[in-house]
A and B are shown apart, each in its own frame.
Chain A
Amino acid sequence: MKQLLSMLALFLACTGAAVAQSADKPLYTYASLANAKGEAVFHAICQGCHMPDAKGATGAGTYPALTGNPKLASPQYMAAVILFGRHDMPSFVMRHSDPGNFFEDATLTDAQIADVINYVRTHFGNHYTNNIAAAEVAAMHPQTITAKQP
């Protein structure tokens, strides 16, 4: 009986863990982030500041909305901001890890940057039809690396 109970407890513990894990999408690691499509990148990173509805937010300063924002007319502008950062927004360009830094920077591939721009420009009430291609993003940073070193 005791054995049966402990087996039952084990079973419950296992299913409990499985349920808890399946309820949450796994988080990206630095390695797996490269597999994220534009929509996933938006929800994993961009919405932290630009908000889940892309409407931005205002406190002592403002995070710009990514909806109804005339700057979105230029996907190249958006690519430049994502590649090189702007003001407090960090850069996401592929680069070697900085050995002096105590945390690793998150970076996005040119394809991911193009994809997240195209996602934003066709969602949240945006209806742009001129997509940007990964090659165009790549052309904006010829000096930097295109793949991260191990």
Chain B
Amino acid sequence: MQGEDSRLSMTRRDLLRLIGLSAGGAAMYAAMNRLGHAAESPYQGTPVLQGAPRGTTVLILGAGLAGMVAAYELRQAGYKVQVLEYNHRPGGRNWTLRGGDTYTELGGFTQHCRFDRGLYLNPGPWRIPYHHRGLLDYCKKLRIPLEPFVQINHNAYLHSAKAFGGKPQRFRAINADYRGHVAELLSKTTQQGKLDTQVTKEDQALLLDSLRRWGALDKNYAYVAGARASNRRGYDKEPGGGLSAKPTDSQPMQLHDVLRSHLWSGLNDGEGYEFQTTLLQPVGGMGRIGEAFGRQLEGLIRYNAKVTAIQQDEGGVTVSYEDARHPGAVHTAHADWCICTIPLSILAQIPMNVSTAMADAIGAVPYAASVKVGLQFKRRFWEEDEGIYGGITLTDLPINTIAYPSCDLNRPGKGVLLGAYLYGLDAYQFTAMNPDERVRRVVEYGSQIHSQYRQEFENGIAVAWHRAPFTLGCFATWSDELRAKHYENLCQIDGRIALAGEHASYLPAWQEGAVTSALDLITRIHQRVVAGGAA
């Protein structure tokens, strides 16, 4: 998921929102909470499930994080667990594409990943906020090494094709100049007595002092070229050693130019609760988590199993499935309980005898379009030529995002960066292309920001989530209205069937939503089992 303001949009509302954030941002909370951005993970540690009756069986549908967390914990608690998974691998949307992998999307478009050894793309989740405690705990348990994920890089770019002649600007410069000018304006307003009715004289003095520091203002509360401003926005000539040591100050941009560029709309990218330092990523790709869970659960997961029907009665749940590679013959699996983590996009099409309220909830939630494109280059020119180590460039071009790898920093040789990360209309349009065209267009657009693309590009791979055969979409896009009407119905235990996954959480699209929904559900099912059976 992206920052709430990552697209460089063009509305005045964003400016107000940015000021709101800088000033404290309490009003932002409601809006952010709307998609679950600010909702805290309710993780309290792994539940202790004691007293499971011997031989109680649980059938889990889906070997993504929700399904595998449920399987891992329930097995530990003494349940007899089996898992059915559509893909030939564990993880679901927790997934990393590496050289040698083949991916066929819906429509039969096949891509062969040609990345060099050690290079990868995370088509799905790619960063872990420090407060996603459930997921972090499993990373620790499964001994998955983590490393910092760089979200904000002051030396990466903010770019608009319509501003500064299309020349990308360093985040650092826009940030410094925006803050400097806003601080100067507010200082003047204060000094002119215009805050007298709202702020005491004592507080005004403190405010002025804070604004001078916050905006790098001079002693007259002006934002001007000089050592203070350069220390924020950078130098025309960097300080060094020896005879050529003396730095040359840079010239701040005019407030008018900063505002008209709309580049300020990218300054919020690390401000949202999910995007604040520290973010983390597994060494070697996000898919390491799913792979490790898969090893833990070896023998319990039946791969290539496409679920075709889910039926319950007083005696338990029977699930029909067929081999995804050779459809035709119907197999069945039976258990006392069923935990279904199949995305709603697919589950809505599978016959299942649950209450009308739950069935309505399953059929009510649309799935977002999203596209990611990974590009391999002959060298890490963003580091070598431009001093960009990890982090994100935002642009109003249709590629939206260029994200530089947070791993293998300063190493010689090739690198893979995220060349596009799309939502909304751009995602629809890139989904509608064949994979080769997606990659070609992303290289074309990206070369407007990094001219090295033309020389250094080698190969790429593009994943459009609506064409992913195992999800038919990126994540469940709940609105307030849908949540009010359907969310509680979706999360009930319906007889012997219950659902888990990011769609059954207030953390949509985040892995923590899948983890905590699974932990919440198994706790409730266990209570019901111990209390004596079905509803």
> What residues of chain A have their CB less than 8 Å away from a CB belonging to chain B?
20-21, 24, 27-30, 33, 43-49, 51-52, 57-63, 85-91, 98-106
Contacts and interface: CB of A to CB of B under 8 A. Distances in A.
A28 B3 contact: no
Given A27-B426, A101-B34, A103-B7, A60 B367 contact: no
Given A88-B367, A101-B34, A59 B472 contact: yes
Contacts of B143: none
A101 B467 contact: no
Contact of B424 (A48, A58, A60, A103): A103
B333 interface: no
B409 interface: no
Given A44-B428, A100-B31, A87 B106 contact: no
Contact of A20 (B30, B444, B469, B472): B444
Contact of A63 (B2, B30, B33, B106): B106
21 contacts: A20-B444, A21-B444, A44-B428, A48-B432, A48-B464, A48-B467, A57-B108, A57-B467, A59-B470, A59-B472, A60-B346, A60-B472, A61-B345, A61-B348, A87-B348, A87-B363, A88-B367, A88-B473, A89-B366, A98-B479, A99-B31
B341 interface: no
Contact of B432 (A29, A43, A98, A103): A43
B188 interface: no
A91 B444 CA distance: 31
Kindly name the residue among A27, A44, A63, A104 whose own CB sees the greatest number of chain B CB atoms within 10 A: A27
Given A60-B470, A104-B425, A106-B424, 19 more contacts: A43-B432, A45-B432, A47-B432, A48-B369, A48-B431, A48-B464, A49-B466, A49-B467, A58-B106, A60-B306, A60-B469, A62-B349, A87-B345, A88-B343, A90-B369, A99-B13, A102-B6, A104-B424, A106-B428
Given A20-B444, A100-B34, A48 B428 contact: yes
B464 A60 contact: no
Nearest to B397: A27
Nearest to B87: A60
Interface residues of B, number: 62
Nearest to A53: B107
A24 B367 CA distance: 28
Kindly name the residue among A60, A90, A91 whose own CB sees the greatest number of chain B CB atoms within 10 A: A60
Interface in B333-373: 342-346, 348-350, 363, 365-369
Contact of A27 (B5, B346, B429): B429
Given A59-B472, A62-B349, A27 B398 contact: yes
6 cross-chain pairs, A with B, having the tightest CB-CB distances, nearest first: A59-B469, A100-B34, A88-B345, A48-B431, A103-B423, A61-B346
Nearest to A84: B366
B35 interface: yes
B441 interface: yes
A13 to B, nearest CB: 9
Contact of A102 (B37, B348, B365): B37
Given A47-B432, A87-B348, A87-B349, A103 B368 contact: yes
Kindly name the residue among A29, A48, A52, A101 whose own CB sees the greatest number of chain B CB atoms within 10 A: A48
Kindly name the residue among A24, A45, A52, A61 whose own CB sees the greatest number of chain B CB atoms within 10 A: A61
Interface of B: 1-7, 9, 13, 30-35, 37, 86, 106-108, 306-307, 324, 342-346, 348-350, 363, 365-369, 398, 423-429, 431-432, 440-441, 444, 464, 466-473, 477, 479-480
Contacts of A60: 86, 306-307, 324, 342, 346, 469-472
Contacts of A59: 86, 106, 468-470, 472
Kindly name the residue among B324, B423, B472 whose own CB sees the greatest number of chain A CB atoms within 10 A: B472
Contacts of B426: 27
A120 to B, nearest CB: 14
Contacts of A46: 432
Kindly name the residue among A20, A30, A101 whose own CB sees the greatest number of chain B CB atoms within 10 A: A101
A102 B432 contact: no
Contacts of A85: 366
A33 B431 CA distance: 16
Given A48-B467, A60-B469, A98-B479, A88 B344 contact: yes
A24 B369 contact: no
B479 to A, nearest CB: 7
A82 to B, nearest CB: 12
A142 B470 CA distance: 37
B368 A57 contact: no
A57 B107 contact: yes
Nearest to B11: A150
Contacts of A28: 425, 429
Contacts of A45: 428-429, 432
Contacts of A48: 369, 428-429, 431-432, 464, 466-467
A102 B431 contact: no
Contacts of B368: 90, 103
Contact of A100 (B3, B32, B324, B431): B32
A54 B5 CA distance: 35
Nearest to B473: A88
Nearest to B470: A60
Given A44-B432, A60-B342, A102 B473 contact: no
